[in-house]
Structure 1
Amino acid sequence: MQTKTTRRSNRERTETTRAELIAAARRLFIEKGYAETATPDIVAEAGLTRGALYHHFPDKKALFQAVVEREAEAVEKEIEDASPETLGSRDALVKGGEAFLAAMAQPGRTRLLLLDGPAVLGRTEMDAIDDRHATRSLKAGLVFAVRSGDLSKQLPIDALTRLLSSAFDRAALAIDAGAEPAGYKAGLAALIDGVLALE
């Protein structure tokens, strides 16, 4: 019984240390950028040792990937929370898109996911991360629209998902640069309506 308690507390300590490293790295990657953030800065920010960092992550890039993955998970959760199927396919897609833009407005998130992420990890790895999170949610919304009879079965869902995802990313970048969100939200809703109207 005592051993189990020790194991559990070790696991909890491990998870806590990992979370502290990811949080510290996130702050620095946002503030200074990936290239300008050194591992000694990260461990100092986290109040940990370099040994602790390398116990959890083989290098800075692996830690960056963990930060990006966590951000992508957070975005996906906001999309999922805002777009239950009870809304109907069109409203779920629109609300999910609005939730994506709101989630991307979190300070530093656009830089992590849309600028530094592809530059550091490469397009292939970022696509894989997107496919596990926001893009997966978008594809599920489009599949739901097909099943509901609101979207043509003849349309290539994978290609359509990528194209719409790119439009959402472009809107997030524009808003992050200071553009008015309302225009992009209206434009994306019109884009969704146009897609749903296709035969």
Structure 2
Amino acid sequence: MKDQRRTQADRSAATREALIRAARPLFAADGFGAVSAEAIARAAGVTRGAMYHQFADKTEVYAAVLEEIEDEVMARISAGIAEADQDDLVEVMKVGARIWLDACAEPSVHQIVLIEAPSVLGWERWREVSLRHGMGMVQALIQGAIESGRIPQQPVLPLAHVLIGALDEAAIYLARSDGSAKTRKEVDTLIDRLVDALFV
């Protein structure tokens, strides 16, 4: 019986993963409104019934896709920060910002995380996801920089929102720009200046 339950759990997890994997490129390419539950189930190779066994509706599939992308991006940022081997937390923020902007150049991150998530999930739920991922990381870095004496004591939460807002807008600007190295360099320079100015 225990082996049977484990097999059922494995099958359920595999179905859930297949749905997320199938939905992600569909949402990125066509947008939430244009993707039907039937299309997701068909792309995943499962029935609609199997999909609804895993997710209450299409919005919950979208939420799972968003969580997966956020997890991946935060893992990339963490790995990039570790590779940079930088002790200065302000410089760490600059490294993290560049990796975030690199990630946002990818269609799935740009479309799903920045463009549609606030309207599909609602601002509060979208922010809740962000708080567990990017917003949480930024707050931790700011708090660490304050505690280490690298920057003056200041309100952490509003500052984190200002930084995240600037990074999101920078990502959207780059996505709609000419894609040149010159434009990206200009944005990187401005983000560096913003980070330096905020911590004076």
In the alignment, the residues of structure 2 paired with residue 157 and residue 163 of structure 1 have an alpha-carbon distance, to the nearest angstrom, of 10
1:196 is matched with 199
In the alignment, the residues of structure 1 paired with residue 127 and residue 176 of structure 2 have an alpha-carbon distance, to the nearest angstrom, of 23
Q: Which amino acid aligns with 2:114?
A: L
2:137 is matched with 137
1:83 and 1:92 in contact (8 A); partners too: yes
Using structure 2 for the length normalisation, give the TM-score: 0.91
In the alignment, the residues of structure 2 paired with residue 97 and residue 161 of structure 1 have an alpha-carbon distance, to the nearest angstrom, of 12
1:165 is matched with 164
Listed one character per residue, the Cα deviations across residues 23-57 of structure 1 (whole Å, up to 9, x for unaligned) are: 11111111111001111111111111001100000
Aligned residues: 194
Percent of paired sites with the same residue: 29
Shift of 1:86: 4.8
1:20 is matched with 18
Shift of 1:10: 2.2
Shift of 1:73: 1.3
Name the Cα RMSD after superposition.
1.5
Unaligned runs of 5+ in 2: none
Q: Which amino acid aligns with 1:172?
A: A
SS of alignment partner, residue 158 of structure 2: helix
1:118 is matched with 118
Using structure 1 for the length normalisation, give the TM-score: 0.92
Unaligned runs of 5+ in 1: none
1:182 is matched with 185
Mean CA deviation greater in 33-42 or 103-112: 103-112
2:101 is matched with 101
SS of alignment partner, residue 196 of structure 2: helix
2:36 is matched with 38
Shift of 1:7: 2.8
1:48 is matched with 46
Shift of 1:9: 2.7
In the alignment, the residues of structure 2 paired with residue 88 and residue 152 of structure 1 have an alpha-carbon distance, to the nearest angstrom, of 14
